[in-house]
Amino acid sequence: MKTHTKIAVAFLAAASSITAQAADTPSAFTTTGNVAFTSDYVFRGISQTGGHTALQGGFDVAHTSGLSAGVWASNISWAPSTSLEVDLYANYGFSLSKDFSATVGYLAYVYEGNSAINTGEINASVSAYGLTAKLSHAVTDYFGIAGSGTQYYELNYAYEVAAIKGLSLALHYGVTDGKNAASNDKDYAIGLSYPVAGFTGTVSYSNGSGSFAGAYEGITAVTLKKTF
């Protein structure tokens, strides 16, 4: 079993343990789930479903200590011998000051039926005033491209539009620093979200440029998401 898969399994075991303990100390734990339907699943500026729809869902467990773990899944169509992506992750979040917080974690991208493209990343982020700077570092091959060490730098900004209750703006900019993979690829996105009949509706536009010629094509996606 590959290292990142072992780590992912350990994280799921930890999540199961947390869930079991939650029954005894419910005040220390929070569990949430989500389901979403999107017109196009976009990841780092590139469609994962070839411009087609995706059904997605996830489950998270968080502890007041700052530890959390979860699983998320979506259908995909970009790779052979698989149509399912399952993400397994664990994080530790903590405060640096009144306004600054940080998170460190591990994320495994697992593809049912095609383990050759499985990818593991460690990550760290710092957040303040709605702005989050994050670094993800691949500790495995990068989605089937040989050579670990590929890094992804991103800036994300979230803003609540005070003039329209419930409306929020999200901005994203990312750079892939590839090792035998995408070299200096850039992607960006803008999105608007608003509550719709118990769901969160989001309209987003994504694009980019770099070595994945033709993969960046300017994508507008509409998503409905329910969190429970």
Residue 65: per-residue pLDDT: 97
Residue 26: per-residue pLDDT: 61
Task: Give the pLDDT confidence of 11-60 residue by residue, as tens digits.
Answer: 555 555 555 555 555 679 999 999 999 999 999 999 999 999 999 999 99
Residue of higher predicted confidence among 159 and 3: 159
Strand partners, 221: 204
Residue 31: per-residue pLDDT: 97
Residue 7: per-residue pLDDT: 53
Query: Quick one: which of 122, 126, 124 has its CA closest to 102?
Result: 126
pTM of the model: 0.88
2: Cβ–Cβ under 8 A, 6 or more apart, which residues?
Answer: 115, 118, 120, 140
Residue 214: per-residue pLDDT: 65
Residue 152 has pLDDT above 80, yes or no: yes
Q: How confident is the model at residue 184 (pLDDT cuts 50, 70, 90)?
A: confident
Over residues 184-194, the mean pLDDT reads 95
How many C-beta atoms surround the C-beta of residue 155 within 10 A?
A: 14
Q: Contact at 8 Å (CB) between 167 and 190?
A: no
Task: Give the pLDDT confidence of 81-110 residue by residue, as tens digits.
Answer: 999 999 999 999 999 999 999 999 999 999
Q: Contact at 8 Å (CB) between 74 and 41?
A: yes
Burial of residue 31 (CB within 10 Å: 0-12, 13-18, 19+) is middle
SS3 of 146, please?
coil
Q: What angle do CA 158, 60, 110 make, to 5 degrees?
A: 95
Over residues 99-126, the mean pLDDT reads 97
Domains, the chain, in order of start with CATH, read 3-227 (2.40.160.160)
